[in-house]
Every structure is written in structure tokens, then in C-alpha cells.
């Protein structure tokens, strides 16, 4: 008797269920807003206006979305190999370091067409390298990847403080940040890019990295589901014993998937360092790595889901910031609570409605009467 083997149609599992979860999260948020004397309808209007109401807002929303796509994909790739990569924070940070150092040192000598691709590769390599060490320790020494990746977040943080304060700091400056990169290594911002084609939009941090994020999503989709390496990753992730039986080496899969995961997380550095700040600085990465876990969970570890979930988080980030700015009795912490509720209901309580939906579905479709007993 395989009790849990019944499946809901795709649209229920992938669309209706997440939708119900988000609605529940918003309902809970509304209750909290009412309790602190905020009108939820007005708050929603401000939030949505902040995220979509004007060009700069949209730009910010998509800029945040870009980061979430990268970290969401990173978590998803590791997850398909059965690994929980908590180290997105550190990998993003170190990825930024890689891109930043390349721009810093080569930016003034080489043309943009060369520096930018090189810097993107550097971000990927640095992120991958930062993930490689925990991956190696897991694969060949059995240290648990959750523990080591968390520790590597702290290590990344300390390393960056040291580098920014003692090594890479711009001479004669008080603040811990590097000199500005040569302009050739700046990634086009979206408003500059569109201006080339004569389209005028308001300035925002949104830059060409968003195309890189979409390309990364396509890459992950092809890699995981349409190559033999993806097949190996999914096999090890779902049933490592069967993988060994099939002649797949788990250690190699762990290292490969973690390196790809780290490289994707490292791309956050491209968006932040090359796209916006144009210099190395502290804490440009904070929060994106961890939020990536929720994004991947919500997006069912599928690139399409991850893009949608990343957009939702982008809206919450940008709209939430607007909300904290506009309403006096809402501060940043309430915005964090809101995000927390979304994570709670669509992550931790992901399957809360599932049994209920399943029953509804069976009752409505009445398939129970037609189907014979299956083993």
C-alpha cells in the first residue's frame, strides 16, 4: 500500500499551493498590521506602489530579484545533489571579492569587453573556490556541509574585514572600501544601456546582471535535467546508494555541484560590485545568501519557480523599504517580520494545505471510484 503515492495535477502542486501559502502569509501580516494600528489595505497599496509604481521602484525590485535568482539557483543546484548549501552568504561575498580584485587591478589596463567577462569568471571562480573547501571536506572527510558552510560564512566575513581594512583600502581614506574601479570595468546600468537605443528610463541600480541571472536560470535548467552530469547529481541527491550502484562517484558529484552552487552565488558580487558600487566594500551581500534558501524552497528548486519566487522577494524588499519609509509606525523590523511570514508559510509550512487540497481534488474528480486497487 503506497499511501503517499497519489499525485496532484501539476497546476495544483506548482501554482495553487504556493499561491495559498502566500495568501496565508499576507493574511497573517494583515493581522499584525491591524494589531499595531496600520491599515493593511493602505500598507499594501504603498508596498505595491513602491515595488511597481514608478520606474525607479521597478528598477530596484528587479535589481533585488537578480540577487535572489542567483542565490536561489545556487541553493537549488546543491539541493538536487542532496546538499544543503547554507554558505551562499560567504560565497556571494567572496565572489564579489574576485570580481572586485580583477576590476581593481586589471580594469585600468584592459578594455571593458575583456575585463567584464574576466571579472564575471573571477566571481564564479572565487565563489566556487569558497564552496570547494566545504565540499571537499564533506566528500572526502565526512564533515557535514551545513556546519562547514555556516562556518565559511563567518570566515568570509572576517577575511573581508581584514582585506578591506588592511590591504585593499584606498590610500588616504577613513572608510573600509577600495578605490573606485576604472570606468571600463563598470557593468552597464539598465538606464545607460537602454539610452543607447534611445529609451529613456529613470536611474536605478538595475544593471545588465539581470540578463546574466536569466541566462544562469536557463543554464541550470539544461544542466540539471538535460545532461548526464545533472542526471548524476539528481541520482546522488535522491538515492546515493543507487548512485554508487550505477557507478557514479558521490564525492565527485558533491564537489561538482557545490562548485557550481558557489559560482552561482558568487554572481551576486557581479550585480553588486560591478553593477552598482563600482568598488569593493563591506557587507554588500548581506541577507541574499540566506534568503536564497527560501527562494529555492518556494520555487520548488526549479529555475522557473525560482525566478518567480525571487521576484516576490524583490517586491518585498523594495516595497518593504518603501513601506518603512512612508509609514511612521512601520520600521524595517516589521518588514523583516513580513518576509519571515512568507518564508514560514511557503517554506516551513509548505505542505500545510496539501492533504486538504488532495482530499478536495479527489472528491471533485471522483477518480476514486474508477481506479482499481494498485499495489
Partner 1 sequence: MSRHLFYGCLLSEIKVPMQSGMAIKLTDVSKRFGAVRANDKVSLSVEAGTIHGIVGENGAGKSTLMSILYGFYQYDSGTTEVFGKDHYFNNSREALAAGIGMVHQHFMLVDPFTVLENVMLGNEGGKLLKEGREQARTELTRLADEYGLSVDVNARVSSLSVGHQQRVEILKALYRGAKILILDEPTGVLTPQETTELFRILNALKDQGVTIILITHKLQEIMAITDNVSVMRAGKMVAHRKTSETSKEDIAELMVGRKVLLQVDKDESVTGKPLISVKNLTVKDAQGIERVKNVSFDVKAGEVVGIAGVSGNGQSELLEALSGITKIDEGSIEINGSLLTRKQPISPSKMRDIGLAHVPEDRHRMGMVNSFAAYESSALGYHNDEAYNGRFLMSRQKVKEYCGKLMDAFDVRPRDPNLKSANFSGGNQQKLILAREIERNPDILLVGQPTRGVDIGAIEFIHKRIIEMRDAGKAVLLVSVELEEIISVSDRVLVMCDGYISGEVSAAEADEKTLGLMMTNTDAAANLEEVVS
Interacting residues of 81 by C-beta distance below 8 A, sequence separation 6+: 233, 234, 236, 237, 253, 254, 257, 258
Enter the DSSP assignment of 206. Answer: -
Residue of 35, 36, 167, 375 interacting with partner 1 (CB under 8 A)? 375
Choose between 144 and 359: whose C-beta lies nearer to partner 1. 359
Is residue 328 a contact point for partner 1 (CB under 8 A)? Answer: no
Nearer to partner 1 among residue 175 and residue 227 (C-beta): 227
Helices (H), strands (E): how many in the chain? 17, 0
DSSP string, 280-335: --SSTTTTHHHHHHHHHHHTTT-HHHHHHHHHHHHHHHHHHHHHHHH-TT--HHHH
Cα gap 308→298, rounded to integer Å: 9
Compare residues 3 and 174 and give the one whose CB is closer to partner 1.
3
CB of 302 to partner 1, least distance (A): 14
Binding to partner 1 in span 235-274, by CB under 8 A:
235, 238-239, 241-242, 244-247
Q: In angstroms, give the least distance from the CB of 368 to partner 1.
A: 4
Range 171-230, binding partner 1 (CB under 8 A)? 222, 225-228, 230
Contacts with partner 1 by CB under 8 A: the residue count is: 33
Where b means 16+ CB within 10 Å and e means fewer, 145-177 reads beebbbebbebbbebbeebbeeebbbeeeeebb
Q: CA-to-CA distance for 227 and 218, rounded, in angstroms? A: 13
The least CB distance from residue 17 to partner 1, in Å, is: 17
- Least distance between partner 1 and beta carbon 347 (Å): 20
Contact between 235 and 246 (Cβ < 8 Å): yes
Between 6 and 144, CB nearer to partner 1: 6
Nearer to partner 1, 2 or 174 (CB): 2
CB of 349 to partner 1, least distance (A): 22
Minimum CB separation of residue 81 from partner 1 in Å reads: 13
The answer to whether the beta carbons of residues 14 and 287 sit under 8 Å apart is no
| Per-residue mark of binding to partner 1, 27-66 (x: CB under 8 A) | ----------------------------------------
How far apart (Å, rounded) are the C-alpha atoms in residues 65 and 61? 6
Spatial separation of the C-alpha atoms in residues 293 and 100, rounded to whole Å: 25
Contacts of partner 1 in 220-239 (CB under 8 A):
222, 225-228, 230-232, 234-235, 238-239
Residues interacting with partner 1, by CB under 8 A?
1-3, 5-7, 222, 225-228, 230-232, 234-235, 238-239, 241-242, 244-247, 358, 362, 367-368, 371-375
Amino acid at each position: 500500500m503506497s499511501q503517499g503515492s497519489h499525485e496532484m495535477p501539476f497546476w495544483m502542486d506548482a501554482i495553487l499551493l504556493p499561491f495559498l501559502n502566500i495568501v496565508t502569509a499576507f493574511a497573517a501580516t494583515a493581522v499584525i498590521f491591524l494589531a499595531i494600528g496600520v491599515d493593511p489595505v493602505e500598507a499594501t497599496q504603498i508596498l505595491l506602489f513602491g515595488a511597481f509604481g514608478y520606474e525607479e521602484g521597478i528598477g530596484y525590485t528587479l535589481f533585488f530579484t537578480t540577487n535572489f535568482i542567483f542565490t536561489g539557483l545556487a541553493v537549488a543546484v546543491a539541493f538536487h545533489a542532496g546538499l544543503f548549501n547554507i554558505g551562499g552568504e560567504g560565497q556571494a561575498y567572496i565572489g564579489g571579492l574576485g570580481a572586485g580584485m580583477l576590476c581593481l587591478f586589471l580594469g585600468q589596463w584592459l578594455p571593458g569587453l575583456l575585463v567584464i567577462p574576466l571579472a564575471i569568471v573571477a566571481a564564479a571562480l572565487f565563489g566556487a573556490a569558497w564552496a570547494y573547501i566545504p565540499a571537499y571536506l564533506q566528500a572526502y572527510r565526512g564533515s557535514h556541509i551545513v556546519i562547514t558552510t555556516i562556518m565559511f560564512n563567518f570566515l568570509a566575513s572576517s577575511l573581508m574585514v581584514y582585506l578591506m581594512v588592511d590591504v585593499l583600502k584606498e590610500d588616504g581614506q577613513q572608510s573600509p572600501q577600495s578605490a573606485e574601479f576604472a570606468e571600463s570595468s563598470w557593468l552597464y546600468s539598465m538606464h545607460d544601456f537602454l539610452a543607447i537605443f534611445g529609451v529613456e528610463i529613470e536611474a536605478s541600480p538595475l544593471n545588465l546582471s539581470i540578463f546574466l541571472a536569466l541566462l544562469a536560470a536557463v543554464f541550470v535548467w539544461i544542466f540539471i535535467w538535460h545532461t548526464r552530469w545533472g542526471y548524476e547529481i539528481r541520482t546522488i541527491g535522491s538515492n546515493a546508494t543507487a548512485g554508487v550502484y550505477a557507478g557514479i562517484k558521490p564525492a565527485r558529484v558533491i564537489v561538482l555541484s557545490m562548485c557550481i552552487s558557489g559560482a552561482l552565488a558568487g554572481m551576486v558580487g557581479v550585480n553588486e560590485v560591478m553593477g552598482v558600487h563600482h568598488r569593493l566594500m563591506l557587507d554588500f551581500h548581506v541577507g541574499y545568501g540566506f534568503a536564497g534558501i527560501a527562494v529555492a524552497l518556494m520555487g520548488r528548486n526549479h529555475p522557473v519557480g525560482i525566478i518567480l519566487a525571487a521576484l516576490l522577494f524583490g517586491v518585498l524588499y523594495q516595497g518593504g523599504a518603501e513601506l518603512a519609509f512612508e509609514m511612521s509606525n512601520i520600521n524595517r523590523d516589521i518588514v523583516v517580520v513580513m518576509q519571515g511570514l512568507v518564508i514560514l508559510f511557503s517554506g516551513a509550512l509548505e505542505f500545510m494545505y496539501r492533504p486538504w487540497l488532495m482530499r478536495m481534488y479527489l472528491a471533485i474528480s471522483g477518480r476514486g471510484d474508477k481506479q482499481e486497487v494498485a499495489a
